[in-house]
């Protein structure tokens, strides 16, 4: 019944399967420029009062792990969507602010406005896949990803942005670049191993999603990156409504939506709140909803990935959601990831 997957074997799938190569290419070229190291030294010398982390869509959600790293190191870090930053929080554009701006294109409408409004007042570190973009050229320092061209939905650019941001975390905390590279070297082989079974993952997911009308993705901590990006790409790739939120927020209202037409993907996360997430997972099952736990201890092959270092985990967490997008598309008999209304680069605010 679910043997023919030819309809989903298009350009979006090609990009998904090319993620290991994109990660390898990015890691090979990651380096801390003198400009970046100078900003890191100024940060550690107390020259900046705050770090503003900004982006839109998956570029914004990818900032969650970095934000936690910086706060845990004693820095004052805050995440703000670029659209809100430029219109409602422009007082952050001052010499005491260090901005980390993430944009795969480096030329979205919000990033162009950020550059114009900032006018060199705050220092900007750009993380982008486009070296000749306005963001890269007009920033004080830039970290480039090497994901190559991407068809539509962010996949290669998202995982490589996570890798670059983990590298940036080490630079900010004045860590050893060799250690950072060794830690990130786990990513590409682990992603490749998971994706080698993509057909089995999709076929295993299709029966689970057959009668689903409501899809929730929930987690805590650094898993909020996959939660936010996951819900976004399901909507983009499949025209299927999905919602991402923290595990705690799910208990405050959406728990009432549980039933046989609701599917909840619970990210087990790290040791700090893993027990809380597992308890919520059990409570969801008790209410008759379909649910799966995503992590090293998952019982389903599609939601299980190897035990890796904390810095690599957010890269792996998005992979099962990518498989969900493929399974939903196969059910709907449509090509996933082909935009009908949106464009790859958003040029209108």
Q: What is the mean pLDDT of residues 215-231?
A: 98
Host domain of residue 127: 31-185
Whether 322 is covered by a domain: the verdict is: yes
Picking from 70, 72, 73, the residue whose alpha carbon sits closest to that of residue 99 is: 70
Are 124 and 211 in a shared domain? no
For 40-92, give the secondary structure using H, E and C.
HHHHHCCCCCEEEEEECCHHHHCCHHHHHHHHHCCCCEEEEEHHHHHHHCHHH
Are 164 and 152 in a shared domain? yes
Whether 17 is covered by a domain: the verdict is: no
Q: What is the mean pLDDT of the chain?
A: 95
pLDDT (0 to 100) of residue 3: 59
Q: What is the mean pLDDT of residues 202-225?
A: 97
Whether 73 is covered by a domain: the verdict is: yes
> Higher confidence at residue 310 or residue 151?
151
Model confidence at 346, pLDDT cuts 50, 70, 90, reads confident
Map residue 227 onto helix, strand or coil.
helix
pLDDT (0 to 100) of residue 343: 81
Query: Domain end: 166, 185, 204, which one?
Result: 185
Are 39 and 181 in a shared domain? yes
Please report which residue ranges of 64-219 form alpha helices under DSSP H.
Answer: 64-72, 82-88, 109-118, 134-138, 156-172, 177-184, 187-195, 198-209
User: Over the stretch 226-281, which tens digit does the pLDDT of each residue have?
Assistant: 999 999 999 999 999 999 999 999 999 999 999 999 999 999 999 999 999 999 99
Reported pTM: 0.97
Map residue 266 onto helix, strand or coil.
strand
Picking from 205, 216, 171, the residue whose alpha carbon sits closest to that of residue 302 is: 205
Are 176 and 200 in a shared domain? no
pLDDT at 159 over 70: yes
pLDDT at 2 over 80: no
pLDDT at 196 over 60: yes
* First and final C-alpha spacing in the chain: 44
Are 247 and 318 in a shared domain? yes
Whether 74 is covered by a domain: the verdict is: yes
Query: Domain end: 138, 156, 185, which one?
Result: 185
pLDDT at 285 over 90: yes
pLDDT at 140 over 70: yes
User: Over the stretch 100-138, which tens digit does the pLDDT of each residue have?
Assistant: 999 999 999 999 999 999 999 999 999 999 999 999 999
Domain count, the chain: 2
pLDDT at 1 over 60: no
Q: By CB neighbour count within 10 A (0-12 exposed, 13-18 middle, 19+ buried), where does 323 fall?
A: buried
pLDDT at 163 over 80: yes
Strands 123-128 and 141-144, sheet pairing:
parallel
Are 327 and 223 in a shared domain? yes
Map residue 295 onto helix, strand or coil.
strand
User: Over the stretch 289-305, which tens digit does the pLDDT of each residue have?
Assistant: 999 999 998 999 999 98
What residues have CB less than 8 Å from 52, skipping those under 6 apart? 77, 78, 80, 85, 92, 97, 98, 99, 100, 122
**CATH number of the domain residue 93 falls in:** 3.40.50.10490
């Amino acid at each position: 019944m679910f043997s023919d997957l030819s309809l989903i074997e298009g350009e979006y799938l090609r990009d998904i399967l090319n993620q290991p190569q994109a990660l390898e290419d990015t890691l090979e070229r990651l380096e801390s420029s003198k400009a970046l190291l100078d900003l890191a030294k100024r940060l550690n010398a107390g020259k900046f009062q705050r770090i503003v982390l900004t982006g839109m869509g998956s570029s914004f959600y990818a900032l969650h792990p970095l934000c936690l790293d910086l706060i845990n190191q004693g820095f004052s870090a805050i995440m703000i969507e670029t659209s809100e930053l430029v219109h409602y929080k422009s007082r952050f554009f001052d010499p005491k602010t260090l901005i980390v701006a993430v944009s795969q294109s480096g030329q979205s409408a919000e990033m162009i406005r950020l550059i114009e409004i900032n006018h060199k007042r705050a220092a900007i570190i750009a993380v982008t896949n486009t070296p000749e973009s306005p963001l890269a050229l007009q920033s004080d320092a830039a970290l480039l990803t090497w994901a190559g061209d991407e068809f539509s939905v962010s996949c290669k650019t998202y995982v490589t942005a996570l890798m670059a941001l983990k590298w940036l975390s080490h630079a900010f905390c004045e860590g050893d670049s060799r250690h950072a590279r060794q830690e990130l070297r786990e990513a590409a082989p682990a992603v490749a191993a998971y994706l080698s079974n993509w057909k089995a993952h999709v076929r295993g997911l299709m029966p689970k999603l057959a009668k689903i009308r409501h899809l929730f993705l929930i987690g805590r901590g650094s898993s909020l990156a996959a939660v936010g990006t996951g819900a976004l790409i399901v909507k983009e790739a499949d025209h299927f409504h999905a919602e991402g939120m923290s595990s705690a927020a799910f208990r405050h209202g959406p728990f009432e939506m549980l039933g046989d037409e609701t599917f909840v993907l619970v990210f087990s996360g790290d040791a700090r709140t893993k027990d809380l997430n597992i308890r919520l997972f059990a409570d969801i099952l008790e209410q008759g909803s379909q649910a799966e736990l995503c992590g090293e201890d998952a019982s389903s092959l599609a939601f299980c990935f190897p035990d890796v270092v904390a810095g690599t985990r957010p890269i792996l967490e998005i992979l099962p959601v990518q498989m969900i997008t493929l399974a939903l598309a196969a059910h709907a008999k449509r090509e996933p990831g082909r935009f009908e209304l949106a464009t790859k680069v958003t040029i209108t605010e």
